[in-house]
Structure 1
Amino acid sequence: MSTEKEKIQAELTQYNASAEKAIARFPERPNLPEQRLYTPLDIEKNDYADDIGFPGVYPYTRGVQPTMYRGRFWTMRMYAGFSTAEESNKRYRYLIESGASGLSCAFDLPTQIGYDSDDSISEGEVGKVGVAIDSLADMEILFDKIDLGKVSTSMTINAPASVLLAMYIAVAEKQGVTAEQLKGTIQNDILKEYAARGTYIFPPRPSMRLITNIFEYCSKNVPKWNTISISGYHIREAGSTAAQEIAFTISDGIAYVEAAIKAGLDVDAFAGRLSFFWNAHNNLLEEVAKFRASRRIWAKVMKERFNAKKPKSMMLRFHTQTAGSMLTAQQPNNNIVRVALQTAAAVMGGTQSLHTNSRDEALALPTEQSVMVALRTQQIVAYESGLADVIDPLAGSYYVESMTDKIEAEAWDYIKKIDEIGGAVAAIEKGYIQKEIQDSAYKWQMDVESNAKIIVGVNKFQVKEKPVEGLLRVDSSVGEKQKQKLADMKAKRNNDAVAKALAELETACKDENENLMPYILDAVRTYATLGEICGVMRKVFGEYEAHTNL
């Protein structure tokens, strides 16, 4: 009697023969995956208990919580910030009133690289791609009439993350909310800035010091805060594959954990507050597999490499944003469909929070109407689709399980290669990670230009279009208004107190054993500006200059 495996193999051989006859009549589309069909033979090596398991249980392939969305939906964040703190505050309050359960702050480019709005280098960029935050005064306005004891806030800020976190803590103090009550996340992921995004300030060594200072400070003083969002999102936006996205990001995570342990922190004291940030790309099934594989890899890394003991230390909790790079300026309404599919992937993949991009973001900052459609997309998926009613609904799919294994194996190969180079920092310094991303991005673009990859409305199904009307434009006067606000604030503050706090910060920067967070917080409370605080650190630490050996 033949075994089940032999029976499937025999029937698969017959199927392939019939498929070849069908292909002779109806040739398959070019550039498809080599394997057209998946069967139990593709996942026969899987051990259910060890590789797949149950949600809330190691290796967390099926999710980090036992009941996932059956008890509470993911946090529905909407990424917002533009113009002045006053304008962004209005948008935040609108989002909260519309049902958003968390805020996600976008900062303008000068803020992201530690310059004040009145610096000559900021000219023309103030308030354009996010909100301008120069001092505690702006942060107070940004969160006016928003109870920081109740809302969860994510801040997309990296090089000056310590300063923006200090401002947030100081605003909460003024509201009567203690640091122990605060919930949220700072991105605080500098390594991916060197590799993929570019908003760095200081060289890697002092940047890693600032990150571990935040880990240590928050573990003692802001225990509910996620101290880093280790970000694959921007790596994917720069052109990486799914496997590269998780491999390079987890390698960055390994570097952060190693730096914290080297600084004397116990892994189980901080690892539970690490979080990740993934991209939800267009290939829905591949993305679900990617999310599942990422959880399994991180669980193994934390347990086997770092000997973590607490379950929370092994859980890869992640925020997801739909793929901005996949939005098209052509036929922008098509982006609503893309975002809906990407939302479905994130939910079936088990995300903890989600931001959905708006239909018009390939053209401009989103309008209120577009933001509402994006938020409603999440709410429809949550309440109407049924996707949130069952945990890990694609588990057991021959294709999804096989793809999960494949992406995991590819990612491990990259992680091992990076280890051989000397870790993520060394791999970035040698240009290895940048080169891999660039090669992947180039292949994608060549595939689009040759029509090997179809983008609807871009290289196929084009139509003649009228210019899109009603786009959001940031008033060019914002920069001048922000400069005046900054001048007025400086005239009113106690400048002696500012000078004293900045001098103490400079002294602390020169002592590698000092945690800089208390000094930064003291400077923020005096209304020292972002540019002044970062200027002190620039003076001591220097600035990073990109160089790669590509």
Structure 2
Amino acid sequence: MAIEQEKLRWENEVYHPLIKRFPERKESFATSSGIEIPPILLPPEKQDYMEDLGFPGEYPYTRGVQPTMYRGRYWTMRQYAGYATAEESNQRYRYLLDQGQTGLSVAFDLPTQIGYDADDAMAMGEVGKVGVSISSMRDMETLFKDIPLDKVSTSMTINAPASILLAFYIAVAKKQGVALNKLRGTIQNDILKEYVARGTYIFPPEPSMRLITDVFRFCKDQIPSWNTISISGYHIREAGSTAAQEVAFTLANAIAYIQAAIDAGLEVDEFGNQLSFFFNAHNDFFEEIAKFRAARRLYARIMRERFHAQDDKTCRMRFHTQTAGSTLTAHQPENNVVRVTLQALAAVLGGTQSLHTNSMDEALWLPTEKSVRVALRTQQIIANESGVADSVDPMAGSYLIETLTDQIEAIARDYIEKIDALGGALQSINSGFMQNEILEAAYQAQRAIETGEKIVVGVNEFQVDEVIELEALSVDPKVEENQKRQLAELRASRDNETVSVLLGKLESAARSDELLMPVFIECAENEVTLGEICNVLRAVWGQYQPPTFI
């Protein structure tokens, strides 16, 4: 082709002679996934426009899941928030809503995430520290006081006990008089990535997968606008994976959930439209944009080719994005505003449906109101002042973006084939395959920082002597005692005979194949606590013990 001949001429006569005189900054330029970035790129050679790109809102959704994208409405602006008590978190939510946030995103404390009440010995010292403490429906009711649940979309970052927290939320909605079909939101409910990357698991895989498919079964009829799972690449990336690994391992986990639901008797088009995803927005700007496009296209093809989805909506990958917590630095924390801005912009250009922007001080402590406001304003400035939301797909046709999209999809597909050969996602986790791949990627990334190959501003280059003068937010130690006192009052005032009957009913249901969600809701409405429910399930199912790898 003439263009290729012209490229060779330019390289031989212009480019190479210049770099002999003035060498480039590095011998090699590559993304986190090891994809080499050449100095210039030509149009992809074998691209089938309709098969590979299509149009926005149509299969394979490379260019976005909505025909108008942000020309219709902006992405949902969420700020992941929750700390101390339900009362304090409620105040933070109402503040954020007043500041223009358009969706709530709940952070739970560690005891809640692993199914312990605030007065359990296992919760000592952790109550309210990394999120809000929720032990009962009363706590959930306080958390959403004066927030009408039919007017907001609520995302809850909860996994092992996700179905129980959803039951609490449903019980609060019913008490508010809200019809369940009016509820909108998401529970993360993604246990496989807990086994591989995060660690807040409770039960072994088989009953954990049952809880997930139970939610699928319940919500398809009762809460059709609720996202029953948020299959998360975010934590896989935070653990150290590359961008391509994030796509591959997330979709391998998705395949496992979809197959489990089909094995439980559901049709893919019955539940597929209620699946959602959660990705990381990292620092490599162009790779991140391409990552989102590649993930959408590969997922669409998996749903159609592997699971024979007939409804195009089943093939749409809708996802939430959070900027990368692992890239935040305690050094020169104001620099994090710039990092977050670039990451948020990549998420928007990549077509996210909702977005959380990290606060500048999160590498130091829980974010203050001021730092959360700056993080939210970052999204609002991108939306209202930059102009990037005015085009449905502003990055389409970039030779670099299209080439990176193709290569990330190819790497991810190869990984999925390897995982299939191992027997699927769960088997690859049990064998340590995913974990070892992530560990190696994390090691190489850290090594690049330590050798200076990769510059982190303020950490290994451009350092300054500094005194951190930002306002800090801390959790009052009295929070734990207050939560214990409130739980004692709850147990004294509720109908404990009914509680005892319900716990027996729950045990029987757990030993059968009965749908558990109605039992959880009944327990919630009668003030059975999270820990009491989880302790019954622990007694029936046991607790997960991770394998040891050598």
TM-score after normalising by structure 1? 0.98
For residues 208-219 of structure 1, the aligned pairs below 5 Å read: 208-219=209-220
Does 1:37 find its partner at 2:34?
no
Secondary structure of the 2:266 match is coil
For residue 548 of structure 1, report the CA deviation from its aligned partner.
3.9
Runs of 4 or more, structure 1, over 4 Å off, are none
2:140 matched to which residue of 1? 139
Secondary structure of the 2:420 match is helix
- After superposition, what is the alpha-carbon deviation per residue over 1:136-173, rounded to whole angstroms, capped at 9, x for unaligned? 01001000000001000000000000110000000001
Whole-Å Cα distance in 1 between the matches of residues 414 and 299 of structure 2?
Answer: 14
2:454 matched to which residue of 1? 453
Whole-Å Cα distance in 2 between the matches of residues 414 and 44 of structure 1?
Answer: 24
Whole-Å Cα distance in 1 between the matches of residues 469 and 492 of structure 2?
Answer: 44
Cα gap change, 1:456 to 1:16, in 2 (>3 Å): farther
For residues 393-412 of structure 1, the aligned pairs below 5 Å read: 393-412=394-413
Whole-Å Cα distance in 1 between the matches of residues 9 and 433 of structure 2?
Answer: 42
For residue 422 of structure 1, report the CA deviation from its aligned partner.
0.3
Deviates most, 117-126 or 24-33: 24-33
Whole-Å Cα distance in 2 between the matches of residues 368 and 549 of structure 1?
Answer: 43
Whole-Å Cα distance in 2 between the matches of residues 7 and 160 of structure 1?
Answer: 58
Q: Which amino acid aligns with 1:45?
A: K
2:11 matched to which residue of 1? 15
1:537 matched to which residue of 2? 537
For residues 180-259 of structure 1, the aligned pairs below 5 Å read: 180-259=181-260
2:33 matched to which residue of 1? none
Deviates most, 15-24 or 468-477: 15-24
1:517 matched to which residue of 2? 517
Q: Which amino acid aligns with 2:545?
A: E
- After superposition, what is the alpha-carbon deviation per residue over 1:339-368, rounded to whole angstroms, capped at 9, x for unaligned? 110111000000000000000000011000
The percent of aligned pairs where both chains have the same amino acid is 61
Whole-Å Cα distance in 1 between the matches of residues 511 and 10 of structure 2?
Answer: 73
1:549 matched to which residue of 2? 549
Secondary structure of the 2:331 match is coil
Whole-Å Cα distance in 2 between the matches of residues 405 and 445 of structure 1?
Answer: 27
Q: Which amino acid aligns with 2:164?
A: V
For residue 37 of structure 1, report the CA deviation from its aligned partner.
2.5
Secondary structure of the 2:462 match is coil
Whole-Å Cα distance in 1 between the matches of residues 37 and 181 of structure 2?
Answer: 52
Secondary structure of the 1:60 match is coil
Secondary structure of the 2:202 match is coil
Whole-Å Cα distance in 2 between the matches of residues 506 and 518 of structure 1?
Answer: 13
Q: Which amino acid aligns with 1:327?
A: L
For residues 281-296 of structure 1, the aligned pairs below 5 Å read: 281-296=282-297
Whether contact under 8 Å (1:118, 1:483) holds in the other structure is yes
For residue 17 of structure 1, report the CA deviation from its aligned partner.
4.2
Whole-Å Cα distance in 2 between the matches of residues 67 and 112 of structure 1?
Answer: 37
1:71 matched to which residue of 2? 72
For residue 10 of structure 1, report the CA deviation from its aligned partner.
3.3
Whole-Å Cα distance in 2 between the matches of residues 509 and 91 of structure 1?
Answer: 37
For residue 20 of structure 1, report the CA deviation from its aligned partner.
1.9
- Number of aligned residue pairs: 544
Whole-Å Cα distance in 2 between the matches of residues 161 and 184 of structure 1?
Answer: 13
1:309 matched to which residue of 2? 310
Secondary structure of the 1:40 match is coil
For residues 146-545 of structure 1, the aligned pairs below 5 Å read: 146-511=147-512, 513-545=513-545
- After superposition, what is the alpha-carbon deviation per residue over 1:220-267, rounded to whole angstroms, capped at 9, x for unaligned? 111110000000000000000000001000000000000000000011
Q: Which amino acid aligns with 2:237?
A: R
For residue 179 of structure 1, report the CA deviation from its aligned partner.
1.0
Whether contact under 8 Å (1:429, 1:548) holds in the other structure is no
Structure 2 alignment gaps of length 5 or more: 31-35
Whether contact under 8 Å (1:430, 1:548) holds in the other structure is no
Whole-Å Cα distance in 1 between the matches of residues 282 and 38 of structure 2?
Answer: 21
- Paired residue for 2:22, among 20, 23, 26? 26
Cα gap change, 1:252 to 1:494, in 2 (>3 Å): same
For residue 14 of structure 1, report the CA deviation from its aligned partner.
2.8
Q: Which amino acid aligns with 1:138?
A: D
For residue 16 of structure 1, report the CA deviation from its aligned partner.
4.3
Structure 1 alignment gaps of length 5 or more: none
Secondary structure of the 2:278 match is strand
Q: Which amino acid aligns with 1:38?
A: I
Q: Which amino acid aligns with 1:406?
A: Q
